[in-house]
Amino acid sequence: MDIQTYRTEFENLRPSRIGGRSRPHKGSMLLAVIDLIERGAITQNKIFFDSQLCEAFSERFQVYRRGNDKDDPAQPYFYLNSSNFWHLAAQPGRESELQERRSASSHGSAKQVKALIDFAYLDDELFLLLQNDIYRAMLADVLEADLLSSEEAFKRWCRGIGKSEKTIANYSSALKGSLTRWAFEASNISLDIFEIQDSFQLEKLIAALNTHAIYLERDRVGKGMYSAALKLFSRFLDEQTATIIARDLTEIEDRQLEGTEREVLVSARRGQGLFRRRVLNEWNNRCAITGYSDERFLLASHIKPWRQSTDIERLDRFNGLPLIPNLDKGFDMGLISFDSHGHILISNELEVPEVLGVTPALVLRGRSKHFEYLEYHRNELFHT
* pLDDT above 80 for 324: yes
Q: Are residues 207 and 296 in the same domain?
A: no
In this prediction, residue 344 carries a pLDDT of: 94
- pTM listed for this prediction: 0.51
Top pLDDT among 350 and 44 is at 44
In this prediction, residue 249 carries a pLDDT of: 54
* pLDDT above 50 for 17: no
In this prediction, residue 350 carries a pLDDT of: 83
| Whole-number percent of the chain with pLDDT over 90 | 37
In this prediction, residue 15 carries a pLDDT of: 52
Nearest to 283 by CA among 267, 303, 306, 305: 303
Q: Do the strands 344-346 and 336-338 form a parallel or antiparallel pair, or are they unpaired?
A: antiparallel
Q: Are residues 188 and 131 in the same domain?
A: no
In this prediction, residue 289 carries a pLDDT of: 92
Question: Which tens digit of pLDDT belongs to each residue from 94-123?
Answer: 888 888 877 766 667 888 888 899 999 999
Q: Are residues 108 and 142 in the same domain?
A: yes
Q: Are residues 54 and 106 in the same domain?
A: yes
CA angle 36, 42, 45 (to 5 degrees): 125
Helices of type H across the chain: 3-11, 25-39, 51-64, 74-79, 95-104, 110-116, 124-129, 133-147, 150-160, 165-176, 178-187, 199-209, 213-221, 225-241, 243-254, 259-269, 273-282, 311-315, 325-332, 368-376
Distance CA 37, CA 142 (A): 17
Q: Are residues 143 and 154 in the same domain?
A: no
- Asked whether residue 250 is assigned to any structural domain, the reply reads no
Top pLDDT among 275 and 52 is at 52
Distance CA 212, CA 187 (A): 9
Q: Do the strands 117-122 and 86-90 form a parallel or antiparallel pair, or are they unpaired?
A: antiparallel
Mean pLDDT, to the nearest integer, of 181-203?
81
pLDDT confidence of 374, banded at 50, 70, 90? Answer: very high
CA atoms within a 13 Å half-sphere pointing along the CA-CB vector of 277: 4
- Asked whether residue 347 is assigned to any structural domain, the reply reads yes
Q: Are residues 138 and 217 in the same domain?
A: no
The number of domains in the chain is: 3
- Asked whether residue 276 is assigned to any structural domain, the reply reads no
Residue type for position 12 = N
pLDDT confidence of 248, banded at 50, 70, 90? Answer: low
- Mean confidence (pLDDT) of the chain: 83
Last residue of a domain, one of 130, 147, 164: 147
Question: Which tens digit of pLDDT belongs to each residue from 121-131?
Answer: 999 999 999 99
Residue burial 308-340, b: 16+ Cβ < 10 Å; e: rest: ebeeebbbbbbbbbbbbebbbbbbbbbbbbbee
